[in-house]
Structure 1
């Protein structure tokens, strides 16, 4: 049957249920969110009283940070109710998701009530994180069982991309195929097929990793601060590392999962690792459960001066004390290495206690994941995908094993007393020395069942190929030390660069110009995209500061001209240029998007022109482009200056969109033109499709604009008055006001006596002159220096 999801019922409005409802609403689906009636309202006939629990839960979710919704307008897609009055309404839903308390009896009782009310064929899934799916389905009708499975979202659902799909024995395979595709395309998830085993994939491996660390740290005498320093971004894991992650997840949750695995996995060769240490049991008894109780491994306190401090637990004494900054020789040597894979090699090769810990950390993990195939998954890549999407790992465990050398590391593991699964030994004996390899732009994984390499992209659960630029190393057609231009097939070129935070300096601008030139000569069009956490944090602030502090204004002027001309090269190329942003897309990164023919953005794109924060105005065409767009939105007969004012305020307040959806409201993305791609892994493939579509439709180079209507003094006075009001009310410093006046001057086209039509170059010249004058201001230099030292501008 062909399924269409128009309405979803979410049963249970707790932390997970309310946020799952918000995520579905954000995709445009109508949501029915239900929960129990409060005991005190059992006799009431007032919906406000009977729906108190669900309404308060939804409001708490909406107010939480980070926000569970892409923009607040989507809340209208959610209707609330209760199980007694509104459960009958699930008859009109296409998918019912159960997210009630983790108790088998309560879930079964709810299913008993759902069975006669749901329309036959309706999807019914559970978000359980530990209860076996087959046990939940017991006693249900055949139709219920065919359409029932586990859909395990991770919290927070908007941001953590993992969605584990867990079939039961009676689940229709077509249901699984549908959910795998729907989660990927419409929910933006990495959908991972998991088996119905305790804790499924991500929690099974994740909790083992944490429990294994508990064992190793005791043997090596390491502290909490030392372990978190070694198991965070240093090795490609989130900043929360190990112990901060445990506090966020909940120490009681961690203990329950560990106990569940130990009790329900009698054949697990590492079952002893899941034994709960005495100090951890004591923490649970003390209700030191992490963030939910205000203290766990860390505790917020107030110092002598009243300032907030974070203290850390000493596991030997169970007393809290000040945090320390660990220092290890191996870490000091490896930390400056930008490339994670090279950094891992350096860390494991060290000779101190940190290196010893990291060796055993990886050996234990590699041993464990090898033995979990085929128990929890037939395919190794699914384990890696689950850990990257669910726990925020930068690379997967099998990929890390590849980096360190499978054969070499396996020998070292055996020498240290660790075992590997027989299939790994067979793989190596057959001359296959890697779990992954790249062929024709596609990543292949070793399949232990077929004893050969199979494709991950384009597999059954991922029907549309994903384009990963780093898989096209054999298709590089031009490069410099920071950037690469690839041939990604079908007559489309692609550019990416690899700098710190993907900032844009001279070599990146050279690469953009070169990529456009190559595309014009040999290709149908160009895709610009980056991998890693962010698209681009903007222009190279260090370069700007160096030129400005040395008063090299001619050099700075040339650099700004190059940036502007590069953006215009993108805008007026003879082939379509599509940009695929994701994550932070700030300053110059935003300006590049503003000048593209089309944007295919990840839903999680945080984009904006932030130069005012460092005492500058957008100097790469961003100010010009906002003035141009404001002019296009003005009414010809009686110009409404609110359009210009809103554009001005967006830049003047350094506003950053908190999602791609909000970028439409800010006027950065164009409604009906630019595109949001829910799954960031698909944005490059979608960009390529857009390039081909524009080319096949007969793309023509746009004409440079000379008809931009600027309002001059008539608008400038109003903007100056507003700036002065903000300054008098102490919302803006003297320097903020100075920068804002420069911005207003450019956006109004200068001190013109009447509205005038001007060219893009006219506005670019004003923009560049204002940028140069501000770069010579002492307070701007102070802000730039602060960003370079601390990552944040000083308020002066």
Structure 2
């Protein structure tokens, strides 16, 4: 296959319109890739009815597979009887039917004659042998065939495993990896053709070890989930809820693959599901999809299975306080020492789970993965762990943990008696360093991929042991770090918790703007970690609030507003590189930047009403200004109502695409699918603006507002909502204040005002609301619980 620097997927096909197939097609559509979704011909009526139903269902699912519902137009429904010729137009064909080798091989024989000579053909299998599948293809197709394993749901899960067959062409694999990385925004791991590949092999073993140790130490399932979820930096669904979400039958299938395919594995006796799980499957309690599994909802109550009695009991028990305190220890070495030393069954359980996984990954690294980095990234991206298993071990002190493991293996405390490989105890301090990650198969360090696509990742997923500091620090205070890599772009990154915006961040952003205007061509706001910003730091204003110094609070709000305005009217272009949450003040900073470069998974909104306030950093002003621009001299109110609703309903866009539809991002803003490419693209956009002779937009001398009559119309709608019981009395009060501000205050409809006029209105209203008892209750509830109060 000829090398192609410009490999381009014009159209793709997905074979199989089940859950995975349809959602893979959806994510191709999210990326603007036209696709054909195939399934069996319907027995009656439209023969493409199965695929059509699957496409319609994509618009109803939550979480949404489509970034916006209109993307479904890019998916063409098809069936194997009428539309095989459509395959000839496709550069990529992904097979995603059920995990039956015989069914897959039969389909391959049917589609082979219709595939182009250069078409990439890939199987989305979660564990079947890629080489055995390749054998079913004509010799001419084998070089273009490989495994491609998306994780569910494909839009949201970062990981895609590429599994080469022995016959797979190297350039084809590189082209596919580049497409998956940039176009679809995925984190790609090249896996060996071993049962369940990398992530499922280790992730499912971790779940099996957790189940076995829960039984050994007598830990309730709900307590296990409390211990093994967010407290360990893992998915909120933890262990047993994850099994319910995945489907107990699916989980059992993956386990069976390991049992059938790995007869000589030291852990083979544990590749089985317990009797209680088998019974659930036999009775049809398969988890979330059947509304009952390990957990089930009875009325408003959630119940959990007691495996001993086989009955459901009330759930909600939490971890012991002493164990929770151990898990709060910041230093990993101290934390693991405390876990191992504790006599509490829950602590012993946790240490046993870690020990079994550490032993497993050490013994199997050589045969299941190319290097330790692939293991850690696969588990992080595929199972939602914030830190991979090798990283965890290294952070906790490699040799200390290795010694403990050896002791436990010798004492028969681990699930297997398999000895640790010699390389574990060769004096190393870990498996990751800035030079590369350890490969047990080659006994060497392997650097990251040199594929050109990865040159776009200026800040790739960092691993414990790597030097991940970016650039040279130019300025730093308690709130921000401003830094540069010598390319004429100054980058400012926040240092606050959740990247909230307080006085130190405001000071830091202004200092960065001063530096950028004097010495650089552009400024980019980019965070080293998600979220972009959870909004204003409410705690920062607490001293002034507690002392009743509302004049000081108003002054700080004014400084926030003027900082936002500086982002727009700076003499150098300002680009906001946004991913994750961009709420409240974070949304306002984004709206004021000259351009936003947003990751697809950006959730942006003005949510201040949740704490009894209104947007005070220019958000209300932006609503009025953007509505006037959208109206283009026509009736303003219909356009303003949409912006008002965003604020009054605290609407948060569920993708960057939806943010454009809501007017929170501009049509000209750029959407990037791979969050690790965000900084690169933001810098390129900023430099391009500078090269084009950037000048800040001219300040409008006046734009029309809806005035008191517009506010009265909106309030009329609010009265109906209040009387219908849709909003509370206080919601009505808050929304009325918002309406008055976005409509420009007590002026005639069509009055021309400038930006400062609205900023003054929103600032005064913000400080007034801050003094309201019910707003204060909302603020305190948010600070204490992290949840909004609707009083």
TM-score over 0.5 for the alignment? yes
* Alignment correspondent of 2:358: 366
Offset of residue 155 of structure 1:
0.9
Q: 2:11 aligns with which of 7, 11, 21?
A: 7
Q: 2:690 aligns with which of 691, 695, 714?
A: 695
Offset of residue 481 of structure 1:
4.2
* Alignment correspondent of 2:317: 325
* Alignment correspondent of 1:305: none
Offset of residue 363 of structure 1:
1.9
Provide Cα deviations, 1:604-636, integer angstroms capped at 9, x if missing partner. Answer: 111011112332210011111222222233334
Comparing 473-482 with 51-60, greater Cα deviation is found at 473-482
* Alignment correspondent of 1:378: 370
Partners of 1:480 and 1:334 in 2: CA distance = 32
Offset of residue 450 of structure 1:
6.3
Q: 2:517 aligns with which of 520, 533, 538?
A: 520
Q: 1:639–1:59: structure 2 CA closer, same or farther, 3 Å change rule?
A: closer
Provide Cα deviations, 1:346-375, integer angstroms capped at 9, x if missing partner. Answer: 656655333322222222212211223231
For the pair 1:731 / 2:722, whether they are aligned, the reply is no
* Alignment correspondent of 1:106: 103
Q: Is the 8 A contact 1:539 1:589 kept in 2?
A: yes
* Alignment correspondent of 1:784: 779
* Alignment correspondent of 1:634: 631
Q: Is the 8 A contact 1:384 1:398 kept in 2?
A: yes
Q: 1:597 aligns with which of 594, 599, 611?
A: 594
Q: 1:624 aligns with which of 621, 624, 627?
A: 621
Q: How does 1:252-263 map to 2 (within 5 A)?
A: 252-263=249-260
Q: 1:667 aligns with which of 644, 663, 669?
A: 663
Partners of 2:201 and 2:190 in 1: CA distance = 14
Offset of residue 166 of structure 1:
0.8
Q: 1:658–1:714: structure 2 CA closer, same or farther, 3 Å change rule?
A: same
Q: How does 1:440-451 map to 2 (within 5 A)?
A: 444-448=436-440
Q: 2:653 aligns with which of 650, 654, 657?
A: 657
Provide Cα deviations, 1:25-52, integer angstroms capped at 9, x if missing partner. Answer: 111122211211344x2xxxx32xx333
* Alignment correspondent of 2:423: 424
* Alignment correspondent of 1:115: 112
For the pair 1:402 / 2:406, whether they are aligned, the reply is no
5+ long unaligned stretches in structure 2: none
Q: How does 1:25-64 map to 2 (within 5 A)?
A: 25-39=29-43, 41=44, 46-47=45-46, 50-64=47-61
5+ long unaligned stretches in structure 1: 303-307
Pairs aligned (count): 775
Q: 1:754–1:79: structure 2 CA closer, same or farther, 3 Å change rule?
A: closer
Provide Cα deviations, 1:693-741, integer angstroms capped at 9, x if missing partner. Answer: 2333333344444333334345344334333444444433332232222
Provide Cα deviations, 1:194-217, integer angstroms capped at 9, x if missing partner. Answer: 111100111101111011112222
Q: Is the 8 A contact 2:181 2:674 kept in 1?
A: yes
Q: 1:765 aligns with which of 717, 739, 760?
A: 760
Q: How does 1:155-170 map to 2 (within 5 A)?
A: 155-170=152-167
Cα RMSD over matched residues?
2.6
Q: 1:573–1:339: structure 2 CA closer, same or farther, 3 Å change rule?
A: farther
TM-score (norm 1): 0.91
Q: Is the 8 A contact 1:583 1:604 kept in 2?
A: yes
Partners of 1:312 and 1:167 in 2: CA distance = 41
* Alignment correspondent of 1:719: 714
Q: Is the 8 A contact 1:330 1:350 kept in 2?
A: no
Offset of residue 72 of structure 1:
0.8
Q: Is the 8 A contact 1:330 1:347 kept in 2?
A: no
TM-score (norm 2): 0.92
Comparing 27-36 with 657-666, greater Cα deviation is found at 27-36
Q: 1:483–1:435: structure 2 CA closer, same or farther, 3 Å change rule?
A: farther
Provide Cα deviations, 1:365-406, integer angstroms capped at 9, x if missing partner. Answer: 122112232312212111111111111111111111121011
* Alignment correspondent of 1:493: 490
Provide Cα deviations, 1:44-91, integer angstroms capped at 9, x if missing partner. Answer: xx32xx333222233233211111100011111112122222233222
Q: 1:185 aligns with which of 159, 182, 187?
A: 182
Partners of 2:387 and 2:151 in 1: CA distance = 18
Offset of residue 143 of structure 1:
2.2
* Alignment correspondent of 2:737: 742
* Alignment correspondent of 1:264: 261
Offset of residue 115 of structure 1:
1.2
Partners of 1:27 and 1:573 in 2: CA distance = 33
Q: How does 1:235-254 map to 2 (within 5 A)?
A: 235-254=232-251
* Alignment correspondent of 1:151: 148
Q: Is the 8 A contact 1:527 1:578 kept in 2?
A: yes
